[in-house]
Structure 1
C-alpha cells in the first residue's frame, strides 16, 4: 500500500495517467488552444484508459475510490486542467449510469462509455438558470403512449461539441421546485435535439463547451433516468464528487506552477544573486505554498468523507472555494515571480491561470459554495 493509501495497481494507473499527459496532452495543448480545437480522438483514447474508474468491477469497471480517481485526473490536469475536466464529466455520468441506471440502460450504454465509444455530457445549467438550478425552464411531459417529450435549452455544457450521450435535467409535468426535477438520456441525433456552436472563451476550448436546444424532442420510455423527485438529489451527488475532484486538480496546477516559478527564480540572477534569494520573491511564493497546503488539506477531508460514504456537501464546498481561490491568486503570484517571462505563451502558467479562473465557475461558483457553507452554519437545509 502506498503512502497515500493507494495500492500497487492504483499506483500503476496513476503512473499511466502521468505518462499519458506527458506524451499526449502536454505537447499539443498550446496548439489546441490556439486553434480552439477539441481533441475528440484523444479524449476517446483517454476514456478507453480511464473510463471505468467509477464503475464497479462486476459491471466491467475499475472500481477506483475517489482518492485514486482524483490522483489520476490531477496527473492529467498538470498538463491541462480543461482536458482533465472533460474526463471528470464523462466519468461522473458513467458512474451514475452504473449506480442508478436501469438494467436496459446499463446494457445499452455502460460498456461503450467505458471504452470511449460514447462520450457523455451533463446538462443542468440553462441560459436563465445557472446558480439557481431549481429554476429550470426545461420541461418533460409523458405522452399517452409512454414516450417523453422534452422542450428547453441548456448552456455551458462541457463536452457538448463531441458528446454522444447527454444527461438532461428537466421539470416533469407542471410542478415546480426540486421535487419535480428528473433526468433523461438524450442521444446525439435524436430528433428535436440541436447542439449549438462551441463557446469562445478565455481558455479551456478543449472541453468543447456549448449549449443545446430541445424542441419537441421525443424519447422512448426507457430513456427516463432519475425519476421526478430524485433528479435534483442525483445531480447534487455528482456535483459534490466533481467539486472534490476539481479541488484536487486545482491543487495540482498550483503545485505545478509553483515548481515552475521556483525553478525559474532559482536560475535567474540579478544584482549578484538569484532572484529567489530576494525576499520580494521568496515571501509571495511562501504565501502560495501555504495556500496550497491549506487547499490540499481541505480537499483531502472532502475526499475522505466521500470514500467513507458520508455526506461531504459542506466539505466539498470548502475545498472547492479554497482551492480555486488559491489556484487563481497563486498562479498569478508565480507569474509575477517570473517577471515578464511568466506572461509569454510558451510558458504554461498563463494557460493554468485561465483554467484556474474557469474552475471558479465549474460545478458552482464561489458564491454558490458560500451559500452551501452559510446555510450549514445555521443548520438550514438545502444549498447547491
Structure 2
C-alpha cells in the first residue's frame, strides 16, 4: 500500500518525536508542515474543498502519522473528528465558514470536552452555557486534557446548558442538557494553558482551555441545544477509531525491533525471526479490527469501533513491552524511542472514550 506521507514529512515528524517538550509544547514547525501537506482535508466533503475520505482513509492516515509521531497523530485525529462533526451536524452557514479552512490546513480544529470531576462519560459538567437575552450564549468553565490547546484555531466545546443535567442513563456517554459550540481560538474569554507534564503524548499540546465569560452567537451552536448526547453517539458510529493511533504506535515499535535485529545480525536466528513474526501477527490483527471499524461493514459499527479501540490499544502496549525486552539495555535507557512509544501507547487507554468506558458501553449493549 502506497504511503500517504511524503518521505520529507515522515522524516520531520520522526525527528520531532524524539525532541518533544515535557510540558507539552508542540513542534509548531511540524504542525505547519502538516497543515501544508493537504492531509488535513481528508474528512472534509469534496464540495467544501476536502478529499471526501471515509473513516478507512482517516484511520489509515492517523496510523501512518502515529508510526513516527503519535503526538501529532492525536492532533490530526481530533482535527478529523471535528471536521466530520461539522460536515454531519453543521448548518450550511457553519459548513461554509469552517470546512474550507479545515480542508486546506489554514484552520486546525480541536475538541474540548473533558473536565475535572465530569468522569470519563462526560457527565456532571461544571462548565456552563447560559443563553443571554439577545439570543447569544455565555460560556464559562475550564476544559481539561484538551489536545491541541494553544495551537488549534477552533475548539468544539461541550458545556451544560440546562439548569441541571438529567439523571445519567447507565452505559451512556454524555448527557441530555449538554450542548456543543464551535468556539474560535481568538474569541474573547478563551484562554489555553499547557504544562500538564504528561508521561506520554508530550508533543500533543494537551492542556487546559479556560472559558471566562466567552460570548458566542447561537449560530456557533453545533447541533440541537441540549442534544449533545446525540452528536456524541454518532462519533463512534462513524468508524474513525483511536485504535488507529495504537496501530501506528505498534508499527513504530515493530520497526524498531526489526531494525535492532538487522543491525545486530540476529535475523539469522530462528528464535528471533519467530518472535518478530508473532509481533507482526498481533500488529496485523489490531490493524484488521481497526480497518473493519472504518469500513462499517458489521451489524453494529459503533460496537466494532469500541472493540477496535480496546483491542488495538492493549495490543500496542503489549507489543511495545515485548520490543523493549528484545532491545535489552537499549530499551531501558531514558529517552529511548521505545520508552516514549510505550508511554504513548499507555496514554491511548485514557483518551475518550477511555478503555474502561468502552468496556461499560459494550457491556451495556448486551443488557439493553
Work out whether residues 162 and 226 of structure 2, in 8 Å CA contact, stay in contact via their aligned partners in 1. no
Q: Name stretches of at least 5 consecutive residues in structure 2 with no aligned partner.
A: 167-174
Work out whether residues 124 and 154 of structure 1, in 8 Å CA contact, stay in contact via their aligned partners in 2. yes
Work out whether residues 141 and 150 of structure 1, in 8 Å CA contact, stay in contact via their aligned partners in 2. yes
Larger RCO: Structure 1 or Structure 2 (Cα < 8 Å, ≥ 6 residues apart)?
A: 2
Matched residue, 2:283: 292
Q: 1:58 aligns with which of 47, 67, 71?
A: 47
Q: Indicate how the Cα distance of structure 1 residues 309 and 295 shifts in structure 2: closer, same or farther if over 3 A, else same.
A: closer
Partners in 2 of 1:345 and 1:19 — Cα distance?
Answer: 28
Partners in 2 of 1:276 and 1:362 — Cα distance?
Answer: 40
Q: Indicate how the Cα distance of structure 1 residues 20 and 176 shifts in structure 2: closer, same or farther if over 3 A, else same.
A: farther
Q: 2:327 aligns with which of 321, 324, 338?
A: 338
Partners in 2 of 1:33 and 1:194 — Cα distance?
Answer: 20
Work out whether residues 73 and 249 of structure 1, in 8 Å CA contact, stay in contact via their aligned partners in 2. yes
Matched residue, 2:111: 122
Cα deviation, residue 370, structure 1: 0.8
Partners in 2 of 1:41 and 1:223 — Cα distance?
Answer: 30
Work out whether residues 23 and 194 of structure 2, in 8 Å CA contact, stay in contact via their aligned partners in 1. no
Q: Is 1:231 the equivalent of 2:228?
A: yes
Partners in 2 of 1:215 and 1:40 — Cα distance?
Answer: 26
Matched residue, 1:365: 354
Q: Secondary structure at the match of 1:205?
A: coil
Q: Indicate how the Cα distance of structure 1 residues 259 and 108 shifts in structure 2: closer, same or farther if over 3 A, else same.
A: closer
Q: Is 1:180 the equivalent of 2:177?
A: yes
Q: Is 1:22 the equivalent of 2:18?
A: no
Matched residue, 1:145: 134
Question: How big is each residue's C-alpha offset from its partner over 1:351-375, in whole Å with a ceiling of 9 and x where there is no partner?
Answer: 2111101111122222111101111
Partners in 2 of 1:276 and 1:328 — Cα distance?
Answer: 27
Shifted more, 342-351 versus 85-94: the winner is 342-351
Partners in 2 of 1:186 and 1:302 — Cα distance?
Answer: 30
Partners in 1 of 2:354 and 2:90 — Cα distance?
Answer: 29
Cα deviation, residue 333, structure 1: 0.7
Tell me which protein shows more helix as a share of its residues.
1
Work out whether residues 51 and 91 of structure 1, in 8 Å CA contact, stay in contact via their aligned partners in 2. yes
Q: Is 1:250 the equivalent of 2:220?
A: no
Q: Secondary structure at the match of 2:150?
A: coil
Q: 1:216 aligns with which of 199, 213, 218?
A: 213
Work out whether residues 59 and 98 of structure 1, in 8 Å CA contact, stay in contact via their aligned partners in 2. no
Q: Indicate how the Cα distance of structure 1 residues 139 and 147 shifts in structure 2: closer, same or farther if over 3 A, else same.
A: same
Q: Secondary structure at the match of 1:191?
A: coil
Q: Is 1:206 the equivalent of 2:209?
A: no
RMSD: 2.5
Q: Name stretches of at least 5 consecutive residues in structure 1 with no aligned partner.
A: 3-10
Q: 2:155 aligns with which of 145, 162, 166?
A: 166
Partners in 2 of 1:198 and 1:117 — Cα distance?
Answer: 26
Partners in 2 of 1:366 and 1:284 — Cα distance?
Answer: 28
Work out whether residues 110 and 154 of structure 2, in 8 Å CA contact, stay in contact via their aligned partners in 1. yes
Work out whether residues 265 and 276 of structure 1, in 8 Å CA contact, stay in contact via their aligned partners in 2. no
Matched residue, 2:194: 197
Cα deviation, residue 214, structure 1: 1.8
Q: Indicate how the Cα distance of structure 1 residues 219 and 303 shifts in structure 2: closer, same or farther if over 3 A, else same.
A: same
Partners in 2 of 1:303 and 1:227 — Cα distance?
Answer: 26
Q: Secondary structure at the match of 2:123?
A: helix
Partners in 1 of 2:22 and 2:159 — Cα distance?
Answer: 36
Q: Indicate how the Cα distance of structure 1 residues 285 and 90 shifts in structure 2: closer, same or farther if over 3 A, else same.
A: same
Q: Indicate how the Cα distance of structure 1 residues 374 and 215 shifts in structure 2: closer, same or farther if over 3 A, else same.
A: same
Partners in 1 of 2:345 and 2:355 — Cα distance?
Answer: 12
Q: Indicate how the Cα distance of structure 1 residues 70 and 39 shifts in structure 2: closer, same or farther if over 3 A, else same.
A: same
Matched residue, 1:8: none
Shifted more, 221-230 versus 357-366: the winner is 221-230
Partners in 2 of 1:263 and 1:187 — Cα distance?
Answer: 44
